[in-house]
Structure 1
Amino acid sequence: MTGDTTDDATPGLGASQVVLEARELTKTYTSGDRPLTVLSYVSFAIDAGSTNAIVGPSGSGKTTLLGLCAGLDRATSGGVTLDSVRLDDLDEDGRARLRNERTGFVFQTFQLVPTLSALENVGVPLELRGERSAMQRATEWLDRVGLGDRLHHYPSQLSGGEQQRVGIARAFINQPRILFADEPTGSLDGQTGAAIEDLLFEINAEAGTTLVVVTHDDELAARTGRVIRLRDGRIVEDSGHLSQDEVAK
């Protein structure tokens, strides 16, 4: 279902296997006495192993949509199925367990724990699962992202690019079914951001992980196999797929 791209490798996965489905997602906040709807009846399905970008201007609802798909927030109406699990059927603790077991996250602002070393930050997802090999695997992942000599450095001792490499290692360490990246290069300069993009897509292709990137960068989006464009809380473009208006028919 996804478009042809050299970055969209999907070893061993059938193109028809859906790992994420959003159906008629609507999110409304209360702003003073007035409701503010930031997403309106958004529907799509994402295939396992595919690479996808959610793009749009500021305020279009893309980060809100990512939060709903990842189970970080609840929709006002509609639903999300993540790796065959309906998020509406889970309480907050259940959604947290699902995220830790089956998803990974890369954030614009890195979201590293400042009091933990790079090694400890990367090992957190496995530590939460009680895995004894957490630190050994964290060491291997830091080597993989080129930070084998920074294991015991704290975030404040690392450059922005190095912090994002730690974030990428942390995101992949639990072998997630799907990885969500919210503006992964947004806090980096052009050269550093390009290197981080290359690393993210390289590791993702090796792992065959489903990738969903939220970005305002059309060049980054073009590296994915599918682009979902939002405007005013609605899908206005979905490359190679039905538009939102067509889905609603």
Structure 2
Amino acid sequence: MLRVDHVTQRFDSGSKTLTVLNDVSFEIEEGTSCAIVGPSGSGKTTLLGLCAGLDRPTEGTVELCGIDLGPLDEDERAEVRNQHVGFVFQTFRLLPTLTAVENVMVPAELRGTSGARPRALDLLERVGLADRSDHYPAQLSGGEQQRVALARAFINTPSILFADEPTGNLDEETAATIEDLLFDLNATSGTTLVLVTHDLELAARTARPLRLQRGQIVEAEAMAAG
């Protein structure tokens, strides 16, 4: 489902070159779950963006759903994401002028899928927001907005879901609810899950926790040891 092969990412910072990721390689099988953990500034979000084709690595290759992203231009990578990828972000990223159900429908409408509204309403019901479908983001709590974002992520039944600190802006009780919904939706959809988190308990719920350390991946066994 996802293959990262000898990926390095460097950024120019003034007169210096900053290496954020250094020769990172790993594979994630279809239908499994993986967490990428590490301290702030360790490159977790950078790696997630490379895996999803939002950016290109300085060196190395990323293969997503059997597609080598390297030769693709920005529009072609966007099409791969539209066809195969779902996203959940820490900051929800809902459109303020659209209702909850309209926000959920956006990815399906971009794909040109028919019957988007009934599916969006069904997903909102599954995340416990059937009675809030016509509310705008400003009328929803943070937890409710993240539930809308979860429903939106699954509207196209993605092959792979990338979640970047999905509970980072939520209180402990709300975060636990969102985590349960995320894993439940993921299991029933058969989606591959890759999430970035600083929460080791959340990471432990995935099949394969990985840690970023000094720009390199450390397997779960090393996490337990140190």
* Structure-to-structure mapping, 1:119-130, within 5 angstroms: 119-130=101-112
What's the secondary structure of 2:105's corresponding residue?
A: helix
What's the secondary structure of 1:89's corresponding residue?
A: coil
1:14 aligns with none
2-structure distance, mates of 1:129, 1:232: 39
2:135 aligns with 153
What's the secondary structure of 1:49's corresponding residue?
A: coil
1-structure distance, mates of 2:114, 2:24: 41
1:179 aligns with 2:161: yes
1:239 aligns with 220
The counterpart of 2:202, out of the listed 192, 211, 220, is 220
2:94 aligns with 112
Q: Larger % of helix: which?
A: 2
Instruction: Give, as a single letter, the amino acid of the residue that structure 2 aligns with 1:71.
Output: G
Give 1:140 shift. Answer: 1.2
1-structure distance, mates of 2:188, 2:64: 22
2-structure distance, mates of 1:232, 1:118: 40
What's the secondary structure of 1:181's corresponding residue?
A: strand
Give 1:132 shift. Answer: 2.4
* Structure-to-structure mapping, 1:9-20, within 5 angstroms: 19-20=1-2
Contact 1:104 1:176 (8 Å CA) reproduced: yes
1-structure distance, mates of 2:192, 2:124: 21
1:198 aligns with 180
Structure 2, unmatched stretches of 5+, are none
The counterpart of 2:59, out of the listed 67, 77, 95, is 77
2:7 aligns with 25
Instruction: Give, as a single letter, the amino acid of the residue that structure 2 aligns with 1:182.
Output: D
* Structure-to-structure mapping, 1:131-170, within 5 angstroms: 131-170=113-152
Instruction: Give, as a single letter, the amino acid of the residue that structure 1 aligns with 2:61.
Output: G
What is the alpha-carbon root mean square deviation over aligned residues?
Answer: 1.1
2:35 aligns with 53
Contact 1:24 1:41 (8 Å CA) reproduced: yes
Give 1:176 shift. Answer: 0.5
1:13-42 alpha-carbon deviations (Å, 9 max, x no partner):
xxxxxx000001111011011111100000
Quote the sequence identity (%). Answer: 63
The counterpart of 1:43, out of the listed 25, 33, 41, is 25
Deviating 4+ runs (over 4 angstroms)? none
> Normalization by structure 2: what TM-score?
0.96
Instruction: Give, as a single letter, the amino acid of the residue that structure 2 aligns with 1:239.
Output: A
1:91 aligns with 73
What's the secondary structure of 1:128's corresponding residue?
A: helix
What's the secondary structure of 1:88's corresponding residue?
A: coil
Give 1:206 shift. Answer: 1.1
Give 1:106 shift. Answer: 0.5
Give 1:240 shift. Answer: 6.4
2-structure distance, mates of 1:139, 1:203: 15
Structure 1, unmatched stretches of 5+, are 1-18, 242-249
1-structure distance, mates of 2:167, 2:131: 23
Give 1:239 shift. Answer: 2.6
Instruction: Give, as a single letter, the amino acid of the residue that structure 1 aligns with 2:80.
Output: L
2-structure distance, mates of 1:67, 1:74: 9
